[in-house]
Structure 1
Amino acid sequence: MRLIFTFFIFSLLSGCNSNRESKVTHEKALKYEGPIIDMHIHSAENEEFTIDTLGFCLPITSIIQHFDPKDDYLEIWNNKLHDPECDDPIWSPSSYENFIERLTYQLDKHNITAVTSGPPLAVENMYNRIGDRIIKSCQFRIGRDNITTDSLRILVNKNGFRVLGEISNQYEGIAPSDPRMEPYYAVAEELDIPIAIHLGSGLPGHFYFEPGLTPRLSNPLELEPIIRKFPKLRISIMHYGEPYIDELISMMVNYPQLYADIGGMQVFYPREYFYEYHLKKMVSAGLGKRIMFGTDMIIWPEIIDRAVKVIDEAPFLSMKQKDDIFYNNAARFLRLEEKKK
C-alpha cells in the first residue's frame, strides 16, 4: 500500500511540475505586446543629417573587429559607415523630417514612451513634433553644456524636464564624484528628479574620437560617494556600467535605490554574449525589478526595433520579467503609473 501511495504522490507531483514547466515554456514563447518605456534615446538636430547617409551594422562590436595602429582609425571608421560590411545595415535618415517620421513610426509601433536626452532646445523641438511619447531629459557634461543650477531649476519647474541626463562626464575622463557635479546633484535631489549617468563603453575605438574616455570610470563603484552624500537621489546607471557586472550587482544589492538602464548594450554585443554574461547574470542575481529597457537610439531609429526583439526573444525571461524590464521598473523609477497586475 505504501508503495502505491508513494507512486501516486510521485505521479501527481510530476504532473504538476510538467504542467508548470509547460506553462513557463509557453509563456516565454509569447510576444510582448504591452507598453514600453525606453529610458535612453537622444534628440537630434537638422545639421546632423545630410544626403550622405550612414550605414550602421549590428552588433556594434562587429563594425571594426581588428585595427593596426599604423592606420588612421577615424578614416577606417568612416569608411565602414559609408560602405558597411554587413548584409542588413540600418541607414541613417537623410533629413531631420525623415528622422522624425521614422522615429515616430518606431515609437508608435512598439507603444514606446522615450526619455529623450539632449540640449534643451533640441529636446523641446522633438517634443513639439512627437508629443507625449517624449519625456524631456537634459544632457549635461562639464565644459560642454552651458547649464547652471538656476537654469536647471527653470527647465524642471517651467519647461517640464523630468530627468537630468545623460550625464556624460566620463567622455572627458571626469569621475561621477567630481566636486563640480555636487551642486547639480543637490538640485536634482531637492527637486526630486532622477539623474541618468553614463557608465559604460563608448563606441569601438572611442579613444580615437574622444581621448578623455576611460573604461575605468565605467565602474559602478564610482557612484558610492554620490549615494552617501545624496541618499535621496534617484540614480539610473546608463549602460549598466558594463562590463563591470559583479561590481554592478554589489552596488545594487547594497544600495537598493539604484536602477540600471540596458542602454543599447543588447545590440552592442552579440546576442548570445549579452544574454549569458550580462542580462541573465543580472536577473539571476535577483535584480529583475530594477533593470530598465533602453536603446541609446541616436540617429538610427530602426535600432529600436532590433533592441526590442533582443529582450522579447530572451529565452530565459518570463512574461512577468518582460513586463518589468520593458515598463514597470522604469515607471516606478520615474514615478509613473505601473501596469495593472
Structure 2
Amino acid sequence: MSLAIVSLLGAGEAAAQNTSASPSPIIDVHMHAMADAPWAVPVCPNQARFEASDPKNGPEAPFGWSKEECSPKLYPAPKGEYMKAVLAEMERLNVRGVVFGDVEAVKKWHAAAPDRVIPGTAFGRIEGTDAAKQLRMLEVAFTKDGFKVMGEIGLQYEGVSPSDMRVDQYFALAEKLDIPVAIHMGTGGSGRANVAMPTYRGSMGNPLLLEELLARHPKLRVQVMHAGYPMIDNMLTLLQANSHVYVDVAGLIWSYPRKEVNRYIARLVDAGFGDRVMYGTDQLAWPGLMAYSIALIQNADYLSPEQKRDILYNNAARFLRLDPAK
C-alpha cells in the first residue's frame, strides 16, 4: 500500500515539475469551497476494506475505513490555510476546478483565483426550506453573479429521488438558463451511512432514477457525481439512453480500493463512453488529494494517452462549454 501511494504521488510531482513546459491543463469538475475541517484526520487513500461495526460495542465511528498505515499519508491543511493550499496546488498542477458551495463562500474562492475557479452552487435541503427563496437565489447566481454549474445537488442524503416533482422547478430553471446540473449519485457514508447519515438511501443513488427527470427536460445536461458507483450496469444503461449525461469519478477515485476504482473506470471506457467520463476529486480537507488522484489516472495502464486526456480535460471542457481561447 505504501509503495503504491509513493509511486502515485511521485508521478504527480513529476508532472508538476516538468521544466520544459507547463503541465497539460486539467479540469477538476468536483471541488468544495470549504474553510477548515476540524473533523478531518490524516488518511490513507484507496484503503483496502470497509469494516463492519456492532452497536453493542459502544459508539460506532462515522467512517468505516480500515485502520491501515501508509507513507505518506494525506494530511488536512493547517487551520485557516485550506483555500490557500488548494489554490496553490491548482496553480502548480495547472488545474481549473468547478468549486461548489454556498454563494458567498464560492465568491471568495473565485475572487482569490478567477482564472482557476469555475463557480457552482445549488439549492439546499428540501424539507423545511423556502423553495421560492432558493429559486430566486439560484436565478440571481446564474444570471447576474456568473455561476456556471448547479451543484452539488445532494438529494440522496435526504432519501429523495432526482425525479421527485418537489425539485422539478430547480431543474426547469437550469434547463431554461442552459446551466448544467451536478447530482450526487452513488458513494456516501464511507461504509457507515447507517451510523452517520440516517436519511441517506443507497437506492436513491440508482442512475436510472434520472430517467423521468431527463424525459421532462430533454435539453438538460447532467453530471452524475461519483459515476453512480457501484451501480455500473444501471449507469451504463442511462448513458446508452441519454447522450446529455456525463459522469465524474470524484470521491470514488480515492475512497475505494484502487483495483475497484480502476475496474469501474475501465468498465465505463470499455463500454464506449470514454468521451463522457470526467476527472474530479470531491476535494475535501486534504490538499494532497489533487496530485494523488491525477496520478491515478495518469498511471492507468488500461487507458490510452488520448483517453487520459479526455478524462483529465477534454470531456469536461466540452461538457462545460469552455471557450477554447481561454
Return the TM-score normalized by structure 1. 0.82
Structure 2 CA distance, aligned partners of 1:240 and 1:176? Answer: 15
Pick aligned residue for 1:308 from 287, 290, 294? 294
Residue in structure 2 matched with residue 246 of structure 1 by the alignment? 233
Unaligned runs of 5+ in 2: 1-13, 17-22
User: Mapping of 1:173-252 within 5 angstroms?
Assistant: 173-202=159-188, 203-252=190-239
TM-superposed CA distance for 1:253, in Å, is 0.8
Residue in structure 1 matched with residue 85 of structure 2 by the alignment? 102
TM-superposed CA distance for 1:69, in Å, is 2.7
> Identity across aligned pairs (percent)?
34
The one-letter code of the counterpart of 1:107 is M
Residue in structure 2 matched with residue 134 of structure 1 by the alignment? 117
Structure 2 CA distance, aligned partners of 1:338 and 1:283? Answer: 25
Is contact 2:123–2:135 with CA below 8 Å preserved after alignment?
no
Residue in structure 1 matched with residue 30 of structure 2 by the alignment? 40
Q: Which has the larger radius of gyration?
A: 1
Structure 1 CA distance, aligned partners of 2:113 and 2:79? Answer: 16
Structure 2 CA distance, aligned partners of 1:248 and 1:271? Answer: 20
TM-superposed CA distance for 1:65, in Å, is 2.5
**1:134-177, Cα deviation, whole Å (9 max, x unpaired):** 11100333237765212211001111111110000100111111
Is contact 1:61–1:204 with CA below 8 Å preserved after alignment?
no
**1:242-263, Cα deviation, whole Å (9 max, x unpaired):** 1111111111011111101111
The one-letter code of the counterpart of 2:83 is I
Is 1:151 the counterpart of 2:134? The answer is no
Describe the SS at the equivalent of 2:119. strand
TM-superposed CA distance for 1:323, in Å, is 1.2
Alignment length (residue pairs): 303
Describe the SS at the equivalent of 1:237. strand
Residue in structure 2 matched with residue 12 of structure 1 by the alignment? none
**1:51-89, Cα deviation, whole Å (9 max, x unpaired):** x86212211564x523223234554749x89x9744432
Is contact 1:58–1:268 with CA below 8 Å preserved after alignment?
yes
Is 1:92 the counterpart of 2:65? The answer is no
Pick aligned residue for 1:280 from 230, 242, 266? 266
Describe the SS at the equivalent of 1:286. helix
Describe the SS at the equivalent of 1:91. coil
Distance of aligned partners of 1:135 and 1:66 in 2 relative to their CA distance in 1, 3 Å threshold: same
**1:214-253, Cα deviation, whole Å (9 max, x unpaired):** 1111111000000000001110000010111111111101
Structure 1 CA distance, aligned partners of 2:149 and 2:109? Answer: 16
TM-superposed CA distance for 1:337, in Å, is 3.6
Distance of aligned partners of 1:61 and 1:221 in 2 relative to their CA distance in 1, 3 Å threshold: farther
Is contact 2:135–2:170 with CA below 8 Å preserved after alignment?
yes
Describe the SS at the equivalent of 1:114. strand
Structure 2 CA distance, aligned partners of 1:117 and 1:170? Answer: 17
Is 1:70 the counterpart of 2:56? The answer is yes
Is 1:54 the counterpart of 2:38? The answer is no
Pick aligned residue for 2:98 from 106, 110, 115? 115
Describe the SS at the equivalent of 1:166. strand
Is contact 1:49–1:94 with CA below 8 Å preserved after alignment?
no
Describe the SS at the equivalent of 1:193. coil
Structure 2 CA distance, aligned partners of 1:153 and 1:90? Answer: 38
Is contact 1:328–1:338 with CA below 8 Å preserved after alignment?
no
